[in-house]
Amino acid sequence: MIIKIKTKVKPTEDENKVLKAVTNIFNDAEMEISENIYTGVSKDISRFKELLRSQAILDAARSVLERNIVGNATKFHINKQAAYSGILNFDKDVHGGIKLEFVSEEDEDILELIKDIAPRTRDGIIINEDEEAIEKKNK
């Protein structure tokens, strides 16, 4: 999976703080700035996944990721200020957030990637969807 990242640096924002907001979530992000817009890529989803779990927002995240699938990718925004504090907060692009695009590569299935990033839960506990489907089928 390739993670594409794009965010604008507003005139009232500190360029280094905007970069820190991105690297708090994707610490391997290779970012470049041009005309007040940071763009870059990451391949490390581990911190993102860790935050989803620690904040107990897996189901909400999965909903956002699935709802925004286009072809082999899913596109969405996270709040820049929250990311600066090391928190994930899904956002609409009304405040100039961080635009993310998770792109599956040739041998990957976007739905399987989403399932790995944000597995379903029941009562706050991650469930194994494959086992559950087999159990239902055998009943």
CATH code where residue 96 lies:
3.30.1440.10
Confidence grade of residue 91 (pLDDT, cut at 50, 70, 90): confident
Picking from 57, 93, 95, the residue whose alpha carbon sits closest to that of residue 76 is: 93
CA distance 64 to 80: 17
Identify the pLDDT of residue 135: 52
pLDDT exceeds cutoff 70 at 54: yes
Q: Which domain holds residue 67?
A: 1-136
pLDDT exceeds cutoff 60 at 131: no
Pick from 1-15, 45-59, 95-109, 125-139: least confident: 125-139
**Domain total of the chain:** 1
Mean pLDDT on 66-76: 96
* More reliable by pLDDT, 58 or 94: 58
Return the SS3 of 118. coil
CA distance 33 to 30: 10
